[in-house]
Structure 1
């Protein structure tokens, strides 16, 4: 038998004077036990009808009803059908109603005796749910609430008992005779039902007892809510702190923070992004989003044209907008300027909290509510977001410090490698000429009768090695000045042909009668002037030519050529057909102290500083330098660019035509 009608509603409809009250589950438990204890302590043989919502609630009280059954044979217990509970007639009558019966939502206890009566008829309301219940949250049993009637009035109790007995008869018709005896006890026709103005009819002591229980339960629930709010705040802060401890990656920390913060505060959208004082916009990379809302991931979020962001940046304080559709006077103009943005992303309530460290803006946390009704930002919510912002600011500073430390460690490693190379190369480059100089001087000092021709050879060898040492020291000092930025560039409009001629002259003087490859020069007559420092540009050409001569033989060729890839740039190439460079070494040949054959076992001279100096010079002049090669024994090409002079349209051919005092040079030389 299914019955969808509520006993509470039926009773209130039958007796309109009654007024339903709200009870916590704890209060109802205390009242029920008091009514049961009165039966157990008395000598009366009352009618007892108890209705439990589920069998598990009944099992908690089963022993008490066995004791009550020893006192009276009119005991009826109702519960939803389940394991271990069904229709039965043992110590007392049990009635199992169906799962879709309205009794599954109600709690009833009626006691009617010769000397006293009591009635508790209640229906459960929707349970109170605490957001994100954690270990510190109250049990759901303690937050359950019921609406109904509790009274000592005999007539109300009789009417409620008749309603429940009718339900029992419908489920168990075989109990008709026993139910008739119960109805004789609780049915007295012709007696008027008088309900006091308070709707209960209970004595003052009972009323105070209920009031005390209810007040205590309200205080308990309020304390539980405060504990739950504190617990969720601590859990969120702890999760962010744990992420900071386990990772120095801001991306990972932001991803955890945006998810946890959005879930705990139940906002529609949560954003966390890095920003600076002068940024125009930022790309959103971290977002928590409720379903059915447009996502901001990958979108450009305005900063410079965002008055609310500018206000937060200037004041370095959080900003809360409870309703963008009706902002207060201080924010109305700023919100109006963002009307299109607000409508596109459906922002109704807005909270912005800056990430600040020592008055430096590092980023921003934004919370959006997008429902039809505005959201009021509580002080607890603001304090929670502010605490998270402090943690994230520290995480950013910590990550920056770690990255800076990594850079310093890398620089220390580079310095250590430089020191090792410097010791190895200088030890080799200085020891050899010093040994030669020492041998020559000792021979001249201890052999006064040495033939003049041999003495001249000894002196020349000592002078040559002294010059070699001087150039080594000079290269070290020059590279140090270039890398430290202590060079003052004297930029002027120059003829590339003149620079090439000076470089060729220097190379010829340096090599003298030594065997070197044939050097060809191909420069277009229409080539514009270049904007550079002439002394340093010649130095680059000399070092590239020296490098080419070092790795070529007499049968090879060296070519100097220039092109103009665009109106603002001139590109120069020094190519040779010599030893070549392996592809994987094309970039590292410009590193300091790099030697193709190793610092201590090479067959060619040099310190490995020439190409490193070329890179520093060309980059200082505003150009680029790189190398290409098809591989070993396939030759190599060194390219560099310099800016073309923009203040003159004069070409190389025009300039050369006016050089009346400059001697002509052949474009082909053999050194």
Structure 2
């Protein structure tokens, strides 16, 4: 049997003058105990009807009702069974009602004696009627609230008893005669005259006003306690949120991951329409959004250029180094006086706007923005603003740690590169210096120890010594040249030049070698109609020399080397030195410009050289503002080296 009628509802309908009040659970507990104590202290044999919501609530008071049952035979206890509670008689009548019955949401205690009467009829407030913050506190039993009636009025008590006796009869019809006796004895009797104080010969004062004041005081104390619980809960929620976001952003030392996680966590926690976090400095003109949280239906700002220099809100944050909050962009003076802000508000539907700086020792690292979009402004409470500032502070720490880690990684890479350079320097220097020096030593020792050596053999010895001495000179010269370029000690003398003249000078120097060794065919395709370039002629010839030397070195005599030049846009002239030689693997095209890099390794090369030529070329080309790069289809498929030179301004 399920009865959906509410006892409280029926009571208020039957007595329309009654006005329900709100009670805390602890207040009702105190009132119930006072009513029960009154029964235990009196000499009456009253009617007592107690309806508990669940069996577990009844179990907490069962011992009291065993004592109350000694005072009267008209004791009725109702509860929804959970374990062993069932309808029956155990010193008092027990009524088990269906858990789906409306009684499971109500709390009743009615006491009617000959000299007194009291009534408590309440219904528990559902979760839907509580605020969100109160709903979060439902695990605290003292925060439960009930709406209902508590009074000493006998007429109200009799009406409530009548309704409850009918409910009991519906569940236990076998109690019909006992209930009929209770109705006759307590509900139909004439009102008893109030007791007279024999000493003063006056009626005993009605305790109702005093008790009502006591209840009011208890309610006020309970309300203060609930506020304290709410404050503690809010503080705990704030700390838990800060800790969770901190843990999330510190799981990574990658700046992109840190900002993405922070935007997602904070946006969900604050339930905002849009949360942006972007890196910026005080002097930036604009920022690009890469990290955001969006609620459903809100437009994205990803990769949108966000104005900073012309943004009054951003500039205010930079000046004050503290948060800036716009409650309503439609009436805020700063927004109304700025076309930039008006445009942003209109395009992205921002109605409430919060900006919080991410700082480190006064240095701006980034900005955290919360947007509420729509028609109705959203007012963030002070706790929410403080929470956002706490997250921004943690974010600043995480960014500094990530930057420190990145700098450490860069430093480690530089140290590794330095170690490789040191190793290559030792290997190459040892090989390139020791080999010619050994040849020179052998030749000189032979000339000194054998004066009768034939003249033609003496000439061969001298030529070999001179050749290796020149090789050593070039090696040392390359070391010195690269050192000067890297240290910035070179004095540049730029002038307007014809590329064709520089190519001819480089070719004449290269062809001198053809008398000593066989070179591949060299073809030039440089037009005399090309515009003049602005460069230091000596260093431009040096770049061409080294590229030609490199091309000839790795190309067989049957191959071909080609020099071309063309305009590359309006500001640069592009020169290409291509060969049909051994080629370069695509994954090594960038490394060939590193110092001491050798395609075959330092100690197993088939060609001479220090591996400094291309590094020198890169330093020279970069110095005049150009670029140098290599292209190759792969092994044995030739290589093309390109570099650019600024075109001279025409008068």
Q: Specify which of 312, 320, 326 is matched with residue 315 of structure 1.
A: 320
Q: Return the alpha-carbon distance in structure 1 between the equivalents of residues 583 and 376 of structure 2.
A: 75
Q: Return the alpha-carbon distance in structure 2 between the equivalents of residues 138 and 437 of structure 1.
A: 96
Deviations 1:121-159 (A, max 9, x none): 22223444564988xx67242211112222234343223
Q: Which residue of 1 aligns with 2:416?
A: 413
Q: Return the alpha-carbon distance in structure 2 between the equivalents of residues 263 and 238 of structure 1.
A: 15
Deviations 1:631-662 (A, max 9, x none): 444443333333333417xxxxxxxxxxxxxx
Q: Return the alpha-carbon distance in structure 1 between the equivalents of residues 19 and 562 of structure 2.
A: 108
Whether the 8 Å CA contact 2:555–2:580 is kept in 1: the answer is yes
Q: Return the alpha-carbon distance in structure 2 between the equivalents of residues 91 and 185 of structure 1.
A: 20
Which has the larger displacement, 462-471 or 215-224?
A: 462-471
Q: Specify which of 202, 215, 219 is matched with residue 224 of structure 2.
A: 219
**Change in 2 beyond 3 A, CA 1:191/1:2:** farther
Q: Specify which of 434, 438, 441 is matched with residue 435 of structure 1.
A: 438
Q: Which residue of 2 aligns with 1:347?
A: 350
Q: Return the alpha-carbon distance in structure 2 between the equivalents of residues 173 and 381 of structure 1.
A: 58
Q: Return the alpha-carbon distance in structure 1 between the equivalents of residues 335 and 631 of structure 2.
A: 63
Q: What SS does the corresponding residue of 1:642 show, helix, strand or coil?
A: strand
Deviations 1:582-622 (A, max 9, x none): 44444433332222332112222111111222233233333
**Change in 2 beyond 3 A, CA 1:278/1:201:** farther
Whether the 8 Å CA contact 2:436–2:471 is kept in 1: the answer is yes
**Change in 2 beyond 3 A, CA 1:372/1:583:** closer
Name stretches of at least 5 consecutive residues in structure 1 with no aligned partner. 195-199, 649-671
Which has the larger displacement, 357-366 or 78-87?
A: 78-87
Matches within 5 A, 1:570-585: 570-585=573-588
Q: Return the alpha-carbon distance in structure 1 between the equivalents of residues 614 and 51 of structure 2.
A: 96
Whether the 8 Å CA contact 2:335–2:341 is kept in 1: the answer is no
Deviations 1:30-81 (A, max 9, x none): 2223323443455532211112234443344345434433443212233457
Whether the 8 Å CA contact 1:22–1:147 is kept in 2: the answer is yes
Whether the 8 Å CA contact 1:557–1:577 is kept in 2: the answer is yes
Counterpart check, 1:552 vs 2:555: yes
Whether the 8 Å CA contact 1:507–1:546 is kept in 2: the answer is yes
Q: Which residue of 1 aligns with 2:197?
A: none
Q: Specify which of 534, 543, 564 is matched with residue 540 of structure 1.
A: 543
Q: Specify which of 233, 241, 246 is matched with residue 241 of structure 1.
A: 246
Q: Return the alpha-carbon distance in structure 1 between the equivalents of residues 261 and 269 of structure 2.
A: 12
Q: Which residue of 1 aligns with 2:510?
A: 507
Q: Which residue of 2 aligns with 1:197?
A: none
Q: What SS does the corresponding residue of 1:277 show, helix, strand or coil?
A: coil
- Displacement of 1:520 after TM fit? 2.7
**Change in 2 beyond 3 A, CA 1:213/1:371:** farther
Q: Which residue of 2 aligns with 1:52?
A: 52
Q: Return the alpha-carbon distance in structure 2 between the equivalents of residues 338 and 585 of structure 1.
A: 50
Q: Specify which of 619, 625, 631 is matched with residue 616 of structure 1.
A: 619
Q: Return the alpha-carbon distance in structure 2 between the equivalents of residues 322 and 74 of structure 1.
A: 63
Q: Return the alpha-carbon distance in structure 1 between the equivalents of residues 264 and 586 of structure 2.
A: 48
Counterpart check, 1:597 vs 2:600: yes
Q: Which residue of 2 aligns with 1:76?
A: 76
Name stretches of at least 5 consecutive residues in structure 2 with no aligned partner. 195-204
- Displacement of 1:543 after TM fit? 1.2
Q: Return the alpha-carbon distance in structure 1 between the equivalents of residues 480 and 287 of structure 2.
A: 45
Counterpart check, 1:286 vs 2:291: yes
- Displacement of 1:362 after TM fit? 1.8
Whether the 8 Å CA contact 1:270–1:368 is kept in 2: the answer is yes
Q: What SS does the corresponding residue of 1:246 show, helix, strand or coil?
A: coil
- Displacement of 1:565 after TM fit? 5.2
Q: What SS does the corresponding residue of 1:384 show, helix, strand or coil?
A: helix
Q: Return the alpha-carbon distance in structure 2 between the equivalents of residues 644 and 336 of structure 1.
A: 42
Q: Which residue of 2 aligns with 1:639?
A: 642
Q: Specify which of 230, 245, 261 is matched with residue 256 of structure 1.
A: 261
Whether the 8 Å CA contact 1:322–1:375 is kept in 2: the answer is yes
**Change in 2 beyond 3 A, CA 1:264/1:600:** closer
Q: Return the alpha-carbon distance in structure 2 between the equivalents of residues 381 and 507 of structure 1.
A: 75
- Displacement of 1:227 after TM fit? 0.8
Whether the 8 Å CA contact 1:151–1:202 is kept in 2: the answer is no
Q: Which residue of 1 aligns with 2:493?
A: 490
Q: Return the alpha-carbon distance in structure 1 between the equivalents of residues 251 and 458 of structure 2.
A: 74
- Displacement of 1:435 after TM fit? 2.3
**Change in 2 beyond 3 A, CA 1:390/1:586:** closer
Q: Which residue of 1 aligns with 2:124?
A: 124
Q: Specify which of 483, 496, 519 is matched with residue 522 of structure 2.
A: 519
Q: Return the alpha-carbon distance in structure 1 between the equivalents of residues 596 and 80 of structure 2.
A: 89
Q: Which residue of 1 aligns with 2:381?
A: 378
Q: Which residue of 2 aligns with 1:270?
A: 275
Alpha-carbon RMSD across the aligned residues, in angstroms, is 3.4
Q: Which residue of 2 aligns with 1:394?
A: 397
Q: Which residue of 2 aligns with 1:467?
A: 470
Q: What SS does the corresponding residue of 1:53 show, helix, strand or coil?
A: strand
Q: Which residue of 1 aligns with 2:199?
A: none
- Displacement of 1:526 after TM fit? 2.9
Whether the 8 Å CA contact 1:232–1:264 is kept in 2: the answer is no
- Displacement of 1:475 after TM fit? 0.5
**Change in 2 beyond 3 A, CA 1:346/1:564:** closer
**Change in 2 beyond 3 A, CA 1:578/1:266:** closer
Size of the alignment, in residue pairs?
Answer: 639
TM-score (norm: length of structure 2): 0.87
**Change in 2 beyond 3 A, CA 1:551/1:306:** closer
- Displacement of 1:418 after TM fit? 0.5
Q: Return the alpha-carbon distance in structure 2 between the equivalents of residues 205 and 274 of structure 1.
A: 65
Whether the 8 Å CA contact 2:95–2:171 is kept in 1: the answer is yes
Q: What SS does the corresponding residue of 1:348 show, helix, strand or coil?
A: strand
Whether the 8 Å CA contact 1:581–1:632 is kept in 2: the answer is yes
**Change in 2 beyond 3 A, CA 1:97/1:276:** same
Q: Return the alpha-carbon distance in structure 1 between the equivalents of residues 632 and 294 of structure 2.
A: 54
Whether the 8 Å CA contact 1:352–1:367 is kept in 2: the answer is yes
Q: Return the alpha-carbon distance in structure 2 between the equivalents of residues 641 and 354 of structure 1.
A: 44
- Displacement of 1:25 after TM fit? 0.6
**Change in 2 beyond 3 A, CA 1:142/1:638:** same
Which has the larger displacement, 554-563 or 177-186?
A: 554-563
Deviations 1:192-230 (A, max 9, x none): 999xxxxx9535664454344323322221111111111
